[in-house]
Amino acid sequence: MISGISAAGTSAASAETKAAAIVVDANTGKTLYSSNPDAQRFPASLTKMMTLYMLFDAMAAGKVSKSTPIPVSAYAAGQPPTKVGFRPGQTISAEAAILSLITKSANDSATAIGEYLGGSEQRFAVMMTNKARQLGMRNTQFRNANGLPDPQQRSSARDLALLGIALREHFPQYYDYFSTRSFTYNGRRIVGHNRLLGKVRGVDGIKTGYTRASGFNLVSSVNVDGKKLVAVVMGGTSGGARDAQMAQLIDKYLPSASRRDGGNLIASRRNSKVEVAAVDLPDTAPVPVPARREEVATTQAAEVVTAYADPKPVPSVAARVLQVPAPQPKAEIGEGDVSEVDPVTTASAPSAGGWMVQIASVGSSEEAKAMLAKAAAQVGGPIASLSPYTEKFQKGAQTYHRARFAGITNAKAANNACAALKRQNFNCFAIAPQS
């Protein structure tokens, strides 16, 4: 019916506050209340709503089943709490991973999902951002799968309301997962963070989130006698204050919601097929655990997150889509090595091999990675499932870094990838596998 939610009732954003909120009639798309709805905010673990959307999309397309084992790399296992607590090389079923995100907000599970679907977390973040654009989320940029702090990972209350509605409309067969209050994994009962479930009439999900920079966030879905709301609260001062604000918004605006179902509100999922990367764990040394900063605990949300200072303002949406920095720290390279394994491609992703395509040879690995990220964001399609790969080489006294996409099975696929890159004005040539 419509591709986005109406903007009636918006108010100007304040640079001094983390707070933002919106209440949307999920039957009609009408905005019933809003405060700073389009201001960019840190989504924190609300990011996992999109991680779950991507996994549900893969399941609906038949690429993943509930029992599919998702491998956990050293990089995923090393994410800060909250987490399930895996050892590198273990697996978790897709269904258990879903439940661990919804209840425990598990950062290790979210990263494992991202690596499984994208081949690397960086590429998965590009896929998430592209999907956000398809859903009409104009103020959103993803940099990781779990919502741990990144100064350029942003969203808005309106965008997250769109995503909440899209999850219900596009995946009714999986939506009941969001009402899960606890589940048992390996003999351990895991209790969820969403305290409104079972306490506020009609609330059936969706997700909590917290970091120091974001404040306390919550997206709630409500269904009472045919009246449906999706409400978002961001930047709460505590878990209790956030929950109280959400309960008050639901109580105030549910009576004015419509029982008339206006049909699908979110645009159809264009190009919704998810290419699932190969996930054989390599025998090489594990990717190093990312460096951590101070950890902050909160009893209200029971979520421990990495803290970071408020960042500088981020560039425009169009610019941000193309700026995907490589995660740190980098893998160490031994003396005498002439190739650099791209730290962007994490341990559950395929290693370089088979056919490859090269788009540049530049003076630094950072420049090579930036070009690969830009190409992945602009081209998608034939290169969406490929592995970004940088390779260092020496020419005389000068060091260069090749920017390549690896993991291509045959010459035809390599030529198709090159053709797609050239249509977007990238240089490209195919490289046959070495015998």
Rounded to two decimals, the pTM is: 0.64
Residue 349 has pLDDT above 70, yes or no: no
**Catalytic (active site) residue 48:** yes
**3-class SS of residue 335:** coil
18, 30, 48, 374: which is the annotated catalytic residue?
48
Quick one: pLDDT at residue 400? 84
Which tops the pLDDT comparison, 317 or 202?
202
Nearest Cα to Cα of residue 124 among 275, 309, 297, 12: 275
How many domains does the structure of the chain reveal?
A: 2
Residue 110 lies in a domain: yes
- Parent domain of 336: 326-431
**Catalytic (active site) residue 105:** yes
Give the model confidence (pLDDT) of 201-216 as tens digits: 999 999 999 999 999 9
CATH of the domain at 156: 3.40.710.10
Same domain, 38 and 173: yes
Which tops the pLDDT comparison, 331 or 421?
421
Nearest Cα to Cα of residue 41 among 119, 147, 136: 147
Same domain, 219 and 357: no
Residue 274 lies in a domain: no
Annotated binding-site residue? 18:
no
- Looking at residues 63-90, what average pLDDT do you find? 94
Residue 265 lies in a domain: no
Q: How far apart are CA 21 and CA 33, in angstroms?
A: 8
Res. 380 pLDDT band, cuts 50 70 90: confident
Same domain, 200 and 335: no
105, 120, 155, 385: which is the annotated catalytic residue?
105
Same domain, 102 and 220: yes
Same domain, 231 and 335: no
**Domain's final residue, options 256, 285, 302:** 256
45, 365, 385, 387: which is the annotated catalytic residue?
45
Residue 289 lies in a domain: no
**Residue 66 half-sphere exposure toward CB, CA atoms < 13 A:** 6
**Catalytic (active site) residue 365:** no
Same domain, 117 and 202: yes
Residue 289 has pLDDT above 50, yes or no: no
Range name among 15-24, 72-81, 189-198, 230-239 with the lowest pLDDT average? 15-24
Residue 308 lies in a domain: no
Residue 283 has pLDDT above 50, yes or no: no
Q: How far apart are CA 158 and CA 25, in angstroms?
A: 12
Quick one: pLDDT at residue 364? 83
Same domain, 231 and 365: no
Which tops the pLDDT comparison, 61 or 366?
61
Give the model confidence (pLDDT) of 99-120 as tens digits: 999 999 999 999 999 999 999 9
CATH of the domain at 377: 3.30.70.1070
Residue 10 lies in a domain: no
**Residue 351 half-sphere exposure toward CB, CA atoms < 13 A:** 12
C-alpha 18, offset from chain centre:
21
Handedness of CA 250, 170, 197, 192 (dihedral sign): negative
**Domain's final residue, options 221, 256, 291:** 256
Quick one: pLDDT at residue 243? 94
For the record, the structure tokens of 190 come out as 């895991």
